[in-house]
Amino acid sequence: MRYLHQPSQNVWELHRNDSGKMTTDATATIARPTPSYQCSKLDQGLRPAARLDRSPWKEATWIDDFKSIHTGEALTDDRYLQAAVLWDDAGLYVGFRSAPSLVPVTRVERDSDLWNECAVELFLAAGAGYYEIEINPLGAVLDLYFPDEEADDWKQCSSWDAEGMTWAVRSTGRPGSGVAGWEAELSLPWSAVPLMTRDVVEGDDVIWAQLCRSTRCTDGTFELPVWGPAQKRFCDHAGMGRLILKS
């Protein structure tokens, strides 16, 4: 998804153009280091139920160091985003805990423009391109494969489906906080993403990923928290983080 911003009265205003790729011309004032996250390996697969308060999710290490792609500032407690990632020989498992949408969520069909309301998002580097998966609070999914970073016809790229992927969502809140929100869980078979980039570091496989959320604000601007050091686009390989698949 691509957006351009125009700062006006200290408010970031983002406007979608035809390319469909999320971007901003804003640059954070402090460059962020590339984060690494160690994904624990499961003994057996998971069937998504969006019950992230149960094992093995409750034992997982949760990422909560999400920053605004606009400014590099941390999220406030009421706008939280958390994520955890697990894996096994069959695939990748991702859990998100998110603050609620700021606008009504209406998209229910697969491959709709979920980012224009509210969606948590996973990006995976794949050679010169990337895979993108979005889930919204109603359980709608958008799955995309872009053959290169500059490919910009998202509707054409939505012809790809992550075969065998399953997911679930649930209305809940941030554990121990009393703050409302929702959870999403997905199971992504490795076979669904055959072009995904893998490196080997000290005997462990490493994949490059972005974890993020797109939320439209009531004034038409966008709230865009991101895990990796991206400063313009969620999909930029240089702005992704490392997921280390620990055995």
**Domain segments of the chain: what residues?**
3-245
Average pLDDT estimate for 147-171: 95
Q: Is the per-residue pLDDT at 128 higher than 90?
A: yes
Average pLDDT, the chain: 88
- DSSP string of 21-46? --B-S---SSPPPPPEEEEEEPSS--
Beta pairing partners, 83: 63, 96
Beta pairing partners, 200: 205
Q: Summarize pLDDT for 48-106 with one digit per residue, the tens.
A: 999 999 999 999 999 999 999 989 999 999 999 999 999 999 999 999 999 999 999 99
Does 223 or 6 have the greater pLDDT score?
223
136 closest CA partner among 178, 93, 102, 176:
102
Average pLDDT estimate for 118-135: 98
Q: How far apart are CA 200 and CA 244, in angstroms?
A: 9
What 3-state class would DSSP assign to 191? helix
Q: Summarize pLDDT for 15-43 with one digit per residue, the tens.
A: 334 445 555 554 444 578 999 999 999 99
Q: How far apart are CA 133 and CA 144, in angstroms?
A: 6
Architecture of domain 3-245: Sandwich (2.60)
Q: Classify each residue of 70-83 as buried b or exposed e, where b means 16 or more C-beta atoms within 10 Å of its C-beta.
A: bebeebeeebbbbb
Whether the model clears a pTM of 0.85, i.e. scores above it, the answer is yes
